[in-house]
Chain A
Amino acid sequence: MSPEFITKYLPLYEKAAWLTVRIGFAGVLLSIVIGLLCAAILYYRIPVLTGLTAVYIELSRNTPLLVQLFFLYYGLPKIGVRTDAQACGMAGLAFLGGSYMAEAFRSGLEAVEKIQMESAQSLGMNRYQTMRYVILPQAFSISVPAFVANVIFLLKETSVFSAISLMDLMFTAKDLIGLYYKTTESLFLLVVFYLIILLPVSILGAALERRVRYARFGA
């Protein structure tokens, strides 16, 4: 290990890490929005849209992100849809993550038993109140573990972005290995930076899971 090499290329990794974090979190946020929309469509069984959503979920869950990105980045421009690499990365992550989030939210909603809805109605709550005070808090609590797992999964998936020439951590590591043969140092920095990004998320996620475990109380 050469400390000079590490200090010299630290800023390069830092820049790459910010790119990963930026696109990663933007992609996760978009996934949450898509996931909520899809879960609501499936829960209320909105005609036509339910079918479309089901098709989207199957397509997205049964194909790798790398292949999705290749199609978005290299395929779509051929029919006139031009986007830059960053937007593609975000869109790809959102396309993949949307279905995973939808499944997490939907299974949370469906896990709330029917008797909860009936009890709320017999207490004189209207549809909005039932949703707001009875169904959603429980559904949220139940979907948190899957939600946390999805966030970490999506952040890890960002490691394929170098395939569409985004200068992320993988790209930087591969570049430095190719240029200087400093394999050990480059890989060391790569692992350290991924840990800096992923460990806090994982710890926060575990804490969140402990805090919102209330739906299972008394069960």
Chain B
Amino acid sequence: MPDLGLEVLLKGQNMARLFTGLLAALKISLVSVVISLPLGILLGTLMTWKNPFIKAALWVYLEIIRIMPQMVLLFLVFFGTTRAFGWDLSGESASVIVFSLWGTAEMSDLVRGALISIPAHQYESGEALGLNKVQIYRYIVVPQTLRRLIPLSINLITRMIKTTSLVLMIGVVEILKVAQQIIEANRTASPNAAFGIYLVVFLLYFFACWPISMAARYLEQRWR
């Protein structure tokens, strides 16, 4: 059995430090999710409206955000806007801005998809029953849309958590950065620490995302 470098985890506060790093990453995702979900619902609903200007503007926004890797968006906001506008932006704020822009775009697309998947006869049947516009949405459209939307948005949350790992590249101290520090500090005592520590980081991310994915799948199957 080769030395896997796992003993480093038990030294001092190392395990606790890794958790703190994970929490730092999760906090950025959480803030971005809280901003993205309502904004995405709003924009997604606007996309189903007939107004050509709103439609075109939202389409351009969606396409620009989706064609660029999130890493490029991070660089544009973190290096680009600070240079162009001369403001000071911490890595955390830049990340929240980028992930909210991206999350909003993805969420709006999910909302639009869920709304247009409701066939026209649902609206028409509502009218035939004498329901007014608010009642049609309240009792017919929204419940059906939510059933399609909730599993997909839960999946989006796991995607956002995974994407948050990128903030390492603009210097935010999160779990991978903490892992690097621990490995560096124990270079002589446990030269193999990289294996054990990165394995643990991998598993921590897995156990952060997996339950959420399972919940999404459960709801999807239940509401099919």
On A, residues with C-beta under 8 Å from B are: 58-59, 61-64, 66-68, 70-71, 74-80, 156-160, 162-163, 170, 173-174, 177, 183-184, 187, 190-191, 194-195, 198-199, 202
Alpha-carbon distance between A199 and B213 when the two chains are bound, in angstroms: 30
Task: Identify the stretch in B40-48, B52-60, B161-169 within 8 Å (CB) of chain A at 4 or more residues.
Answer: B161-169
Q: Which residues of B contact A66 (CB under 8 A)?
A: 165-166, 168, 176
A-B contact list, 29 entries, CB within 8 Å: A58-B206, A58-B210, A58-B213, A59-B206, A61-B213, A62-B158, A62-B206, A64-B162, A64-B164, A64-B166, A64-B205, A66-B168, A67-B176, A71-B198, A71-B202, A74-B198, A75-B198, A75-B199, A77-B194, A159-B69, A159-B70, A159-B71, A159-B72, A160-B169, A170-B71, A170-B72, A173-B75, A184-B80, A190-B75
Question: Besides A61-B213, A62-B209, A71-B198, 5 other CB < 8 A contacts?
Answer: A74-B183, A78-B5, A78-B191, A79-B195, A156-B69
Closest residue of B by beta carbon distance from A81: B195
Bound CA span A202–B163, Å = 21
B67 contacts partner chain A, Cβ-Cβ < 8 Å: yes
Contact A177 B79 (CB under 8 A): yes
Contact status of A191 and B72, CB under 8 A, knowing A75-B199, A80-B2, A184-B84 = yes
Q: Which residue of A lies closest to B163 (CB)?
A: A64
Max chain B CB contacts within 10 Å: which of A75, A177, A202?
Answer: A75
Contact of B194 among A62, A75, A173, A191 (CB under 8 A): A75
Compute how far the CA of A79 lies from the CA of B2 in the bound complex, rounded to whole angstroms.
7
**Residues of chain A lying within 8 A (CB to CB) of residue B4:** 78-79
Name B residues whose Cβ lies closer than 8 Å to a Cβ of A: 2, 4-5, 67-72, 75-76, 79-80, 83-84, 158, 162-166, 168-169, 176, 179, 183, 191-199, 201-202, 205-206, 209-210, 213
Would you call A191 and B68 a contact (CB within 8 A)? Answer: yes
Check if A63 sits within 8 Å of B71, measured CB to CB.
Answer: no
Q: Which of A63, A162, A170, A184 contacts B205 (CB 8 A)?
A: A63
The answer to whether A170 and B67 touch (CB under 8 A), given A67-B176, A80-B2, is no
In the complex, what distance in Å separates the CA atom of A162 from the CA atom of B75? 13
Q: Chain B residues near A190: list those with CB within 8 A.
A: 72, 75
Q: Give bound CA distance, A93 to B192, whole Å.
A: 25
Residues of A close to B166: CB separation below 8 A: 64, 66, 160
Residue of A nearest to B208 (CB): A62
Give the complex CA separation of A191 and B80 in angstroms: 11
The 4 closest A-B pairs by CB, nearest first: A159-B71, A159-B69, A64-B165, A62-B209
User: How many angstroms from the CA of A156 to the CA of B67 in the assembled complex?
Assistant: 8
Asked whether B79 lies within 8 Å of A63 as measured between CB atoms, the reply is no
A194 to B164, CA, bound (A): 21
Given A67-B201, A163-B169, do A79 and B192 touch, yes or no (CB 8 Å)? yes
